[in-house]
Structures are given as structure tokens and as C-alpha cells.
Amino acid sequence: MKRKILVLNGPNLNMLGTRQPEIYGHDTLADIEGRLRKQGKARGLDVDCRQSNHEGELVTWIQEARTTCAGIIINPGAYTHTSVAIRDALAACDLPIIELHLSNIHKREEFRHHSYMTAVVTGTILGFGAYGYELALEAMVRLVDGPAAAPKPKTRSRRKK
């Protein structure tokens, strides 16, 4: 079984940490990618993180993932609201796909409320900032390995009084 998860980031996400930190937070993309790779390694996954400001490059990577990866996590950035090409590439990909957004796009400008991707992905995570990437990777583990692969919740011991 393929154990690689492709994490794609669209335009301007290379500017995380400096671009509108009041919306996107102070973590850089390198910070996020480092945490994801560490989390993936602990779960037996190879996490391949890529970023591009170019639509065609993202489409090519999605097409390649069809035969090399177990799933895709994608933050399409502004292409969320404009790219039929990325949407069509995702639709042709028979893998679990998670759409991710740092901010809650539905609480922002009206043009951001529509996503071309949502109708063709497995699920969407939005509004949790950089932590959303970690949530997406845990969700992907469940999609790839099944619910039994999820970590068991820790129980707290209760002291009797």
C-alpha cells in the first residue's frame, strides 16, 4: 500500500507568517511542513509537501499523485474560488482528498464563500489556522487506514474521595 500523502499549497501560501498574520497566523509554511512531516513519520506516512503559485504546476502534481500517493491534502489558496482546472484534476483523482483553509472562508468576503473544490473532495477543514493541517493529516490517516488506525483517546483516572 502506498504510504505517501501529498500536501499541496497554492498561491501566496509561501508568504505565511508575514502575509496578513491577523488572518493566517504567524507560523511559516516551513513551520507547518516540519510539524506535518514529524506527525506523518509517527503515523508511518511519508508526507510530501509542495507549494506553487502556478495553477498548471498544481494540476500536474495532482495528476501524478493518482499513481504515487495514498491521498491528497490541498490548500488551493485563491484558486479555491477560481480554478476549474484544479477542480477537474481533483475530480479525476480516485484518492481521498481533503480541502483545507487556514481561515473560515465563509466568514470572509463574499467572493471567498464559494469553493470549486468542495463538491469533488472527500472533506473540508477550515478555520483552525495552522492546526488545520494536523487535523487534516489525522483525518487522512483514518481515510487511508480505516477508523481503527485512529489514536485511542486518553482516559483520565478518577480518584475516589
Exposed (0-12), middle (13-18) or buried (19+): which is 58, by Cβ within 10 Å? buried
Kind and range of the H or E run holding 8: strand 4-9
Catalytic positions, written as ranges: 24, 101
Exposed (0-12), middle (13-18) or buried (19+): which is 38, by Cβ within 10 Å? exposed
Kind and range of the H or E run holding 24: helix 21-24
Q: Are strands 46-51 and 4-9 parallel, antiparallel or unpaired?
A: parallel
Q: What is the dihedral of CA 90, 19, 15, 29, to 10 degrees?
A: -70
**Adjacency order of strands within the sheet including 71-75:** 46-51, 4-9, 71-75, 97-101, 123-126
